[in-house]
Chains A and B, each alone.
Chain A
Amino acid sequence: MDSLIWTENATKIYNPRKPDEIRALEDASLNIEKGEVVVLKGPSGSGKTTLLSLIGCMGRPTSGRIVIDGKDVAKLTERFLTLIRRRTFGFIFQQFNLIRNVSVLENVLLPLYPIEMSFADMRGRGEKILGDLGIRDRMLTKVNKLSGGEQQRVAIARALINGPEIIIADEPTAHLDRKLSTDLLRILKDLNIAGKTIVIATHDPFVYDHPFIKRIVEMRDGRIQDIKLT
């Protein structure tokens, strides 16, 4: 398998040289191969979310390198970074981060608005994905009227709409009960079987103890402590 995500001494400092400086991540070196399922494990403040954000091109490291599919993203302009984010990654956020008072369909289609694609094609793609996840019948409902499980599926649908190679999930089970967590992990496993690379940041043992997880990266105080194969 070839290396898809590679970080070398990635460091992230917020508010550098100021009284409220935070060294969120230090010297993180990690190599994730295509098709892997990797968990970043650690308590709150361990730097796992920061590392996840940097891998997902949501920000740039203060120092060090982040290479995604052969491209050093630290050197890219914002425009290219956005392009990579749009094409390569699908994000599942802790709080779902759906736009309130907007319909399911519109939320799912949001990543497709800024690209040259007709309304009809866009809608077709959205309806298909919602159908695959079993919530097509709710597509015109506003998201704030959905249950937790339904919102989770909308978030997953949105993450998948661009056909990304890599799925990034930040504490995906934080607000879910056991049944919904099981559903989520099943969906992620199916996506992995379909060829997607999955990176999850979590401190939930229900996730990192799951058999489909290939590798666990243990983090504490902004540093990688250990990398274990499961």
Chain B
Amino acid sequence: MMRHLKILEYALSSLLRRKYRNISLIAVYALTIGILASVLFLTYSLKLEATRILVDAPDIIIQKISAGRHDLIPAIYAEKIRDIPGVGSAEPRYWGYYYDPLSHSNYTLIGIDTDLPGLSLLEGRMPSGAAECAIGAGVGQARIAGTGDTLTLLNSRDTGVEFSVTGTFRSESNILTNDLVVMTKKELLRFFDLPARRSTDIAVTVHNPDEIATIAGKIKQAYPDTRPITKSEIIRTYDAVFNWRSGMMLTIFASALIAFCILAWDKATGISAEEKHEIGILKAIGWDTADILELKFWEGIVISLTSFLLGLLAAFIHVFYLKATILSPVIKGWSVLFPEFRLTPYIDIYQIFVLAFLTIIPYVASTIIPSWKTAITDPENVMRS
């Protein structure tokens, strides 16, 4: 045990001899690991958040497709769908998008029934009459409006409609409600001038969850011009959206991995003459091959383990305490309204172990392997060269 601690001591001395270089190395390495870990934490947290809260989404959404595009669906479809055995309910959904020229942002407008119960994440009350709405925190911020204020939106005839804000969704619900403007169904139909007896789509509930796919199939058979979207597909979408193997996340991840490989390659391509000479001296004075390799092992571990732990710590603080302030502009894209991340710290231990494996092992290997040949050579040959 003493022997190992002493070799560790010498390894630390050796690293401190090039203090500034090694500190810079740790800083850069930790930063790379921090970015990688941030991406992993963020995507995993969002994925789990999505899958946990969207579990109460409608069992099936029925869209009408015309010429390959989403079209309004006749209300009569809902009446017929209700008659299919196994169907609990089939309610038309009324919703649409609104571009706000004042804030240059897009809102999602939803029309609801007036007998909707109050919601715990709503401050105020749901709209119940004409010219009333409840808004998400993002809308409120963009238009500097809160409960009790008015919100003017331009309807389909380009006429301003003044809504009285009856409620604002709490910031904890931003991930769901940030861009929402909720009004009564009648109000929405009037606002968008939607034709009577047509809705955006139909939300279907099913008695037995195991029959969702079967019933979706029956609906498709009954109405070939529709496209059923089941709840499992909704949840799977978010599984895939936050997969770090896609899009921008992949780019960040790949860049970081390439940086690692360059670092490891640089180390692995050989040791300096000075290092070789030092190994020769150590061998001559009584260090054997195993001691030399242990020395290199410790040198590698000190740098990579320290960087890994610091990077992980930084990523944790960045994502869950600083609300991913560095990554969120990257993820935000061109969205004007983007919810502030208030992520639940779901952590996947498996991902952390994989990250540790990918970052520590290659670095240690690239420290040991170049020294291997010199370590197994007789000291006489090393001293001569």
Chain A residues with a Cβ under 8 A of chain B: 53-54, 58-60, 78-79, 82-83, 85-87, 91, 93, 97, 99, 101-102, 106, 110-119, 122, 158, 162
Contacts and interface: CB of A to CB of B under 8 A. Distances in A.
Nearest to A96: B281
A6 B204 CA distance: 97
Interface of B: 2-3, 5-7, 9-10, 13, 17, 277-278, 281-291, 376, 378-381, 383
Nearest to B287: A114
Contact of B285 (A59, A110, A116): A110
The 6 closest A-B pairs by CB, nearest first: A86-B286, A59-B380, A82-B288, A58-B380, A59-B378, A114-B291
A110 B2 contact: no
Nearest to B6: A113
Given A114-B3, A114-B291, A119-B6, 13 more contacts: A58-B380, A58-B383, A60-B378, A83-B288, A91-B285, A97-B277, A99-B278, A106-B13, A110-B287, A113-B291, A114-B286, A115-B3, A162-B286
A13 B282 CA distance: 24
A169 to B, nearest CB: 13
Contact of B288 (A60, A114, A116, A162): A114
Contacts of B277: 97
A122 B287 contact: no
Contacts of B5: 119
21 contacts: A58-B284, A58-B380, A59-B380, A60-B378, A79-B288, A79-B289, A79-B290, A82-B287, A85-B284, A86-B286, A93-B383, A97-B277, A97-B284, A97-B383, A101-B17, A102-B17, A110-B281, A110-B282, A114-B288, A114-B291, A117-B2
A87 B379 CA distance: 16
A60 B285 CA distance: 16
Contacts of A162: 286
Which one of A58, A78, A91, A113 has the highest number of Cβ atoms from chain B below 10 Å of its Cβ? A113
B281 A114 contact: no
B380 A114 contact: no
Nearest to A80: B288
Contacts of A114: 3, 6-7, 286-288, 291
A111 B286 contact: yes
A176 B287 CA distance: 28
Nearest to B278: A99
Contacts of A54: 380
Contacts of B285: 85-86, 91, 110-111, 158
Contacts of B17: 101-102
Contact of A118 (B2, B10, B287): B2
A103 B175 CA distance: 59
Contacts of A82: 283, 286-289
Contacts of A59: 378-381
A83 B210 CA distance: 72
Contacts of A87: 286
Nearest to A114: B291
A85 B286 contact: yes
Contact of B287 (A58, A113, A117): A113
A176 to B, nearest CB: 20
A128 B282 CA distance: 22
Contacts of B383: 53, 58, 93, 97
A97 B380 CA distance: 13
A78 B377 CA distance: 10
B13 to A, nearest CB: 6
A91 B378 contact: no
Contacts of A122: 6
Q: Which of A58, A60, A79, A162 has the most CB of B within 10 A?
A: A58
